[in-house]
Structure 1
Amino acid sequence: MKKTKVGWSAGLAACLAMMAMDALAAEITRYVVLVDGTRQAGHQVVTTGDDGVTHVDFIFKDNGRGPELKETFTLAPDHTLATYQVTGSSTFGAPVDESFKRQGGQATWKSTSDQGEQSVSGTAMYAPLGGSPAMASVSLGALAKRPDGKLPLIPGGTLSARKITEVEVKRGQDTRRVQLMALTGIGLVPQFVWATTDAEPRLFAAIVPGWMQLIEDGWNENAAALEQRQKQAEGEFLSGLNTRVAHPLAGTTLIRNARLFDSAKATLGPASDVLVKNGRIVSIKAAGGRAAKADQVVDAANRVLLPGLFDMHGHVGRWDGGLNLAAGVTTVRDMGNDNATLQQIIGEEKAGTLLTSRIVAAGFLEGESPMSARNGFVIKTLDEAKKAVDWYASHGYVQVKIYNSFPKDLLRETTAYAHSKGLRVSGHVPAFMRARDVVEQGYDEIQHINQVLLNFLVDDTTDTRTLQRFYLPAEKVADLDFDGPAVQDFIALLAKHKTVVDPTLATFDFLRQRAGEMSQAYAAVAPHMPPDIQRGLRSAEMKIPDEATAERYNRSYAKMIEFVGRMHRAGVPIVAGTDAIPGFTLQRELELYVQAGMTPGEALQSATWTAAKVSRVLDDRGTIEVGKRADLVLIDGDPVANIADIRKVALVVKGDVAYYPSEIDEALGIKPFAAPVTVSRTGR
């Protein structure tokens, strides 16, 4: 029947009325995601209907990438998940598709990387692999119903929460009390979230200090104060951890009968006795002679003693120190951070209150664009770039790192100005440029193997601020002719300029990892990890739709490793960095250098002598010599013969403090890799 105008109007009115009723019935909570304290980079909308079904729309985009998730779930009477479904894409574009259901005493789940079923009794909470921050609300609500404050997890583990503090927030004339909660049992470190103080608390804000703030919409102006209070609470927690695992070395300490790695020559020397006083090496003598008197003694029992390792590509957070020190990393070069956050960490490290490595600072310098990363300084003009360089120079930074959106027309003059201030220049290759261009315009160093190889894969219109900077190398490096003139000429250019390359090979393992496969970057350490970490290591980041694509991406990754070996043999300096999980990634990075053709000694050299030289601290550390800092790592094995032994760290000395990696690992829920070699008092 033909509808009249009146009929359409009546229908529309009825539809609008129904929508209004639905809106009244639904409970909607909106959140905004901020970076740099002000710029909105995403949102989270949580809608719960009167049918008990909750829908979550979460999106976060920063630095040209980020997840997009759609969640649907229902809750059981104990507030745990009864059903759960999430779809969307991960940070780098991999599909996310995960579901869970509990019926009585049987739980089943399936994701793109795993599936399983489990018999359960009583309260138990499913821990999604790819969930949104809204899952914190579910966990908080379920924990509130547990008298013991502990929540069993599916597939395994136990979640607990501890209230840290409570504060008042304001929105105009409205006020509200919110509480800072520390959640433990998922991941290696506590997760801090701000929650409401209702009988059934829910998420109010989730903050990663110095980077991201997710907060309930309308209450944005409270984010900075909440972040500051959270940083204070985290500092108190970390100070306590440092007190528990640090062993101060008062007076003199003798490390007896250790085989010393000569990092300048990349060889292993004879057994020696090393005497340490006030955090410095004061003597080195052949083992077996008359031992020096000391207040403490370490019997190395012919184990290998290395200079403290450098991670040349970190983005230091306050929670990274434990993983780094347990792996023998005593110095980290920070390659881009929130300036205020990094200055705070540097201050805490110098004061000895934070469990962390020493820091070499590289200042972050980015150009303004919709895809800018918001660390450090984001500039539009040459004058702004110069002022940023001046700030970094005056604050003790050794170099600047230029990023993807930096204006290419300003690059040459900015590089020259940084050099005039005594700073090195490194970074990504800005969009619409090639690696050859930045070398010719003064770069001292290039970060990441993909940035190097994009030299052969882009033209003047390729926007490498997008995910193309990952997908192009994965797709096309497999077919590059490394013996051809274009590649050979470029390697020769790098060698001629002594351009340092920080390839972060281990990080780029994600280019080839398929859903369900164990990440090869962490396969060797996965059995030592908590169950939820092991499960997460099987999650993919890239969209790899079929076997043919997987085979191609694998070949591309293998050729990236090969290219590092070719650069090394040509005389291009290589330094070992991570840009991923601290500690473990560096160990894998060194393994990959050996796979690329370096000797184990040369790989170790890249993370000691070469790193110290590039960081301009070789006069202070990087070798085991009299007068240098006592940053030392004792290995229960021989990494000069078998690089995999680098994981068997038995003792770490950072100046005048000793750390037993087994103690740190156990505090983080990790099964230790070696028995500790302890410091003994002599009774002198």
Structure 2
Amino acid sequence: MRLALLVAALLPFTAQAAGSVTIIDCGHVFDAENARLTGPRSIVVRDGRIESVATSVPAQEGVERIDLRAHTCLPGLIDSHVHLGSQTSPQAYAEGFRLNPEDHAYRSVGYAEKTLLAGFTTVRDLGGERTQGLRNAIDQGLVRGPRILAAGKSIATTGGHADPRNGISRELAASLGYPGPEDGVVAGPIEARRAVRQRYKEGSDLIKITATGGVLSFARSGDNPQFMEDEIRAIVETARDYGYRVAAHAHGEEGIRRAVAAGVDSIEHGTYMSDRVIALMKEKGTWYVPTISAGVFVAERAAQPGYYPEIVRPKALAVGPQIQRTFGRAWQAGVKIAFGTDAGVFYHGDNAREFELMVEAGMPAAAAIQSATRNAAQLLDRWDELGSITAGKWADIVAVTGDPTADISLMRRVGFVMKAGVVYSRP
């Protein structure tokens, strides 16, 4: 009986795509290549992919037709920085000692569905040790969620941000053993290469490093450099052998500079990015993923006594407000920007708040939407399949009522969600 109920629950989102044809009539379509609206268009979806986009399509017998003529249709949104395996709470630090992997796994299923229903059909999960399993379950149609590119365990240095032994007693640390490359903790270029190969062994889709201290880690500094440049270069070179891109968590100026100079593909957060670093990023073509939402959220919560440990609060209060200012400078300077939020540091499903914060900092609404479509797809090296409503690409389509290029707050109210030709939400 329980198996039958499970199968019945899965049918609505696993049995629709194969052999199906759907026509979607849109009042406007967002042209992600040129960051503008095209006017009325009809989209023909066949077997999960976009077959054609035209000004009009004749009625076809037996073919489902979805009326979104009062809506703007956009490519499925892409969040380039999430953590689906966790979510903020005052209990988060203690839960690390109490919860089991299956507890986190069950929670992540709900986080994934909230993300999808918010219009984010693809995400890059940066640092979840168990996210490969969630990715596989979504790909197999077992649970509802976005397409996931999973980094697996972040690569850190000994004692650095993402060292899993930070903040615990010596006795407990000794019982758990010294963390090494298999645990994502390295000291020197040789161990750095080994850690990349371990992530390949575990089935990761990309590599993430923690190039500087972190705001929420149980340590004093949130911005000190934590890798030597030769260690980062070893990671980047090894990653290239496996077709991996490298994302670098980095707050402090020197840590950002080392990561960019060593060839990483993206800087995440970039809080204290200097003019010198901005010039280097433009020279190297390095992407910037700002995560303003996380900065604003941690600053708000740090003002609440007891939400974060006392060692974390000063970092959150200092770093949080700075990220939005840095983003504005980077945008004005012409740095390549891809949308990313750090969801998990704040509540999953609230990802679209980032659009409003980007616009507040000076980015036009159309460019902000482009950052979550074309730009993010290019960063993920998936532009051939994602990021625009174009024939041949996956039918990842979302819609909002009205014109989001005129009112960016509409991005918080996605009413239609299709991923790979399957409808998950309707107006």
Tell me how far apart the structure 2 counterparts of residues 620 and 606 of structure 1 sit (CA, whole Å).
16
Q: Residue 333 of structure 1 corresponds to which residue in structure 2? A: 124
Q: Does residue 568 of the first structure (1) align with residue 357 of the second (2)?
A: no
Contact 1:310 1:611 in 2 (8 A): yes
Q: Does residue 435 of the first structure (1) align with residue 256 of the second (2)?
A: yes
Contact 2:132 2:150 in 1 (8 A): no
Name the TM-score, length of structure 1 as normaliser.
0.49
Q: Residue 362 of structure 1 corresponds to which residue in structure 2? A: 151
Deviates more, 1:305-314 or 1:650-659: 650-659
Shift of 1:412: 2.5
Identify the match of residue 302 of structure 1 among 44, 50, 70.
70
Q: Which runs of 5+ in 2 are unaligned?
A: 85-107, 165-181, 214-225
Q: Does residue 506 of the first structure (1) align with residue 293 of the second (2)?
A: yes
Tell me how far apart the structure 1 counterparts of residues 243 and 123 of structure 2 sit (CA, whole Å).
21
Q: Residue 185 of structure 2 corresponds to which residue in structure 1? A: 378
Aligned CA distance change for structure 1 residues 345 and 240 (closer, same or farther; 3 Å)? farther
Contact 1:247 1:659 in 2 (8 A): no
Q: Residue 495 of structure 1 corresponds to which residue in structure 2? A: 282
Shift of 1:402: 0.9
Shift of 1:441: 2.0
Aligned CA distance change for structure 1 residues 239 and 395 (closer, same or farther; 3 Å)? farther
Amino acid at match of 1:506: S
Tell me how far apart the structure 2 counterparts of residues 540 and 238 of structure 1 sit (CA, whole Å).
38
Amino acid at match of 2:117: A
Identify the match of residue 237 of structure 2 among 416, 441, 450.
416
Contact 1:514 1:539 in 2 (8 A): no
Q: Whose strand proportion is higher, 1 or 2?
A: 1
The superposition leaves residues 281-315 of structure 1 with CA deviations (integer Å, 9 ceiling, x where unpaired) of 1111103x634555211011231001000111112
Q: Residue 164 of structure 1 corresponds to which residue in structure 2? A: none
Amino acid at match of 2:127: G
Identify the match of residue 577 of structure 1 among 333, 340, 357.
340
Q: Residue 260 of structure 1 corresponds to which residue in structure 2? A: 29
Identify the match of residue 109 of structure 2 among 305, 315, 318.
318
Q: Residue 612 of structure 1 corresponds to which residue in structure 2? A: 377
Identity %: 30
Q: How does 1:190-339 map to 2 (within 5 A)?
A: 248-249=16-17, 251-287=20-56, 290-293=58-61, 295-316=63-84, 317-338=108-129
Q: Which runs of 5+ in 1 are unaligned?
A: 1-232, 456-486, 518-537, 661-675, 678-684
Contact 1:256 1:272 in 2 (8 A): yes
The superposition leaves residues 153-191 of structure 1 with CA deviations (integer Å, 9 ceiling, x where unpaired) of xxxxxxxxxxxxxxxxxxxxxxxxxxxxxxxxxxxxxxx
Contact 2:149 2:206 in 1 (8 A): no
The superposition leaves residues 409-445 of structure 1 with CA deviations (integer Å, 9 ceiling, x where unpaired) of 5223232332344322221249995322221122221
The answer to which structure, 1 or 2, has the higher relative contact order (CA under 8 A, 6+ apart) is 2
Q: How does 1:104-253 map to 2 (within 5 A)?
A: 248-249=16-17, 251-253=20-22
Amino acid at match of 1:401: K
Q: Residue 32 of structure 1 corresponds to which residue in structure 2? A: none
Tell me how far apart the structure 2 counterparts of residues 237 and 512 of structure 1 sit (CA, whole Å).
44
Tell me how far apart the structure 1 counterparts of residues 156 and 5 of structure 2 sit (CA, whole Å).
33
Contact 2:49 2:393 in 1 (8 A): yes
Corresponding residue SS for 1:627: coil
Amino acid at match of 1:384: E
Contact 2:13 2:422 in 1 (8 A): no
Q: How does 1:57-68 map to 2 (within 5 A)?
A: none
Tell me how far apart the structure 2 counterparts of residues 271 and 427 of structure 1 sit (CA, whole Å).
40
Tell me how far apart the structure 2 counterparts of residues 515 and 443 of structure 1 sit (CA, whole Å).
31
Contact 2:155 2:162 in 1 (8 A): no
The superposition leaves residues 17-54 of structure 1 with CA deviations (integer Å, 9 ceiling, x where unpaired) of xxxxxxxxxxxxxxxxxxxxxxxxxxxxxxxxxxxxxx
Contact 2:126 2:150 in 1 (8 A): yes
Tell me how far apart the structure 2 counterparts of residues 439 and 307 of structure 1 sit (CA, whole Å).
30
Tell me how far apart the structure 1 counterparts of residues 4 and 156 of structure 2 sit (CA, whole Å).
33
Name the TM-score, length of structure 2 as normaliser.
0.75
Amino acid at match of 1:285: A
Q: Whose helix proportion is higher, 1 or 2?
A: 2
Tell me how far apart the structure 1 counterparts of residues 334 and 29 of structure 2 sit (CA, whole Å).
26
Between the two proteins, the alignment pairs up a number of residues equal to 367
Aligned CA distance change for structure 1 residues 539 and 447 (closer, same or farther; 3 Å)? same
Name the larger-Rg structure.
Answer: 1
Amino acid at match of 1:322: E
Contact 2:26 2:70 in 1 (8 A): yes
Aligned Cα RMSD in Å? 3.5
